[in-house]
Amino acid sequence: MNNRIIASLDIGSNFVRAIVCERDEDGVLQIVGTGVRSSTGLRKGVVVNIEATVRAIEGAIEDAEMMSGLEVTDCWIGIGGNHINGLNSRGVGAVTRKKRDTGEREISQEDIEKVIESAKAVVLPTDRQILEVIPQNYIVDDQKGIKNPLDMIGVRLECDVHIITCTVTGAQNLSKCVNREGFRVNEIILQTLAAGKVVLTQDEMDLGVVLVDIGGGTTDVLVYSEGTPYSTYTIPAGGTQVTSDLSIIKNISIENAEKIKIDAGCCWEDLLDDDESVVVPGVGGRAPMSIPRSQIISIIKPRMEEIFSMVKQHLDTLNLPRPLGGGIVLCGGGAQLAGVVDLASHVIKLSARLGCPIPTQNLGGLVEEYRTPSYATAVGLAMEGEIRSGADAKERGFDLRQGEKKSTPIFGRLKTWLREEFF
């Protein structure tokens, strides 16, 4: 058996996560390897230190390779951060193909592609490029709300699209970091778009839903309306700011502040016991000190409230065709903070839930490894990569590469030898 390999990289401000997948005999994408390394090479989604980013990418992929026993040569990578912008546009075109028997104009795939190209004709600064163009709906001779106009009869075709752009250098520097390790970048995909593939349901997208990805340096927001992306927005604050607040106010190191945030952090008072406290190591050999959790929440909650308030402010500016009946779905490392769902619902005035990748008929493997909000983007990139590469595409994992790749991990060589000798 020779299954196709799919690898993905979620390159964040605090961590780089890698996933290696294999498709089994039943057509299920099995996640067989995961890897995570801390990173200091990005700030608010933009590469600021190539060497640090390269080291984190190398370590994360090596961990995933060792776990899976497979060699990665190409991958799908995600992009997010302050330099991402979204806008809506409309394209208009004439239907050109006529039916031979009746002479009526019938919409072809070529007509659809032309009208989407027309919608893409927006003026962008020279330092920006189009990352994604997502059709929202079509209009055929003033008939609105059409999702697929192929083979319909009409004279005039219009298409509303959501265009996502990024800086040219932002995308190039991410690709350069991956290529420096000898891996080929198949495609760069918007992180929230990928995460939505595995944490949102179709019903939520149809009703209208807000995906909030709370990362280290930024909080990325993607709003769905009537089944398709409607607005893309980035808030320049995330989990790193919460850690920094704890460090400054309580005079403790960043490392200890991060540990307190993960182990004892909370942003909803109802989840606390009155007598709870946390022991923090002293700085410079000083004696440890005890901090009540009520003090911790008094530091964390205002920052998280600020983030969710900015999400609400953005939502209030949108001219949505219908209310957001699907509510809010939270993912990313910051979504694991205790009480974050309650706080988000309270501030934004919508129902909220936590978004985790869950096993489905098309996704299996290391369930306990990836079933957390922090792995939503990495798993979504793998799923989206599988879709974009095509079900019948030739294997990419072994023959597509760029640059010199390090030698095959020992488990990969062992697996190859066993297959050659015994299967």
Q: What is the pLDDT of residues 94-107, one digit of tens each?
A: 988 776 566 678 89
Contact 374, 332 (CB under 8 A): yes
Q: Indicate whether 121 belongs to any domain.
A: yes
Please tell me the predicted confidence (pLDDT) of residue 103. Answer: 63
- How high is the mean pLDDT of the chain? 86
Q: Which pLDDT does position 394 carry in this prediction?
A: 39
Which CATH number fits the domain that encloses residue 155? Answer: 3.30.1490.110
**d(C-alpha 258, C-alpha 252), whole Å:** 10
Question: What is the arithmetic mean of pLDDT over 170-194?
Answer: 93
Provide the pLDDT for residue 174: 94
CB 32 within 8 A of CB 22: yes
Q: Domain for residue 216, yes or no?
A: no
Token readout for 272 is: 């606390």
- Distance of alpha carbon 293 from the chain centroid: 32
**In the predicted structure, residue 333 carries a pLDDT above the cut 80:** yes
Cα radius of gyration rounded to whole Å, the chain: 24
pTM for this model (two decimals): 0.87
- CA-nearest of 188, 110, 206, 195 to 150 is 110
In sequence order, the 6+-apart residues with CB closer than 8 A to the CB of 14 are 38, 39, 215, 216, 217, 239, 240, 333
Lowest-confidence region among 42-46, 81-85, 381-385, 391-395: 391-395
The pLDDT, as a whole number, for residue 417 is 44
5-9, 192-196, 341-345, 408-412: which has the minimum mean pLDDT?
Answer: 408-412
CA distance 70 to 63: 11
Chain centroid to CA 214: how far?
10
In total, how many domains does the chain have? 1
Q: How do residues 360-374 score in pLDDT, each as one tens digit?
A: 767 888 877 788 999
pLDDT band (50, 70, 90) for residue 414: very low
Q: How confident is the model at residue 248 (pLDDT cuts 50, 70, 90)?
A: very high
Q: What ranges in 181-292 are assigned the alpha helix state H?
A: 191-199, 202-207, 239-250, 254-264
In a domain, 133, yes or no: yes
Specify if 388 maps to a domain. no
Residue 97, domain member (yes or no): yes
Q: pLDDT tens digits for 130-169?
A: 999 999 999 999 898 899 999 899 899 999 999 999 999 9
- Cβ within 8 Å of residue 394, ≥6 positions away: none
- What integer is the mean pLDDT of 187-202? 94
**pLDDT number for residue 284:** 72
pLDDT at 253 over 60: yes
Does a structural domain hold residue 161?
A: yes
Q: What share of the chain is helix, strand, coil (3-state, %, to 5)?
A: 40, 30, 30
Query: pLDDT > 70: what percent of the chain?
Result: 90
Tokens linked to 232: 């893309």
Residue 151 lies in a domain: yes
**Quick one: which of 419, 389, 421 has its CA closest to 184?**
389
Chain centroid to CA 367: how far?
A: 18
Give CA–CA dist 300/257, Å, rounded.
Answer: 11
Higher local confidence (pLDDT), 421 or 353: 353
Its domain, for residue 160, covers: 85-167
Tokens of residue 44, six digits:
């608010």
Tell me the HSE value of 41 on the side-chain side, using a 13 A CA sphere: 24
In a domain, residue 186? The reply is no
In this prediction, residues 163-191 reach a mean pLDDT of 93
Q: Which two tokens stand for residue 179?
A: 């290529």
pLDDT in tens, 10-27: 999 899 999 999 888 777
CB atoms inside a 10 Å sphere around CB 177? 28
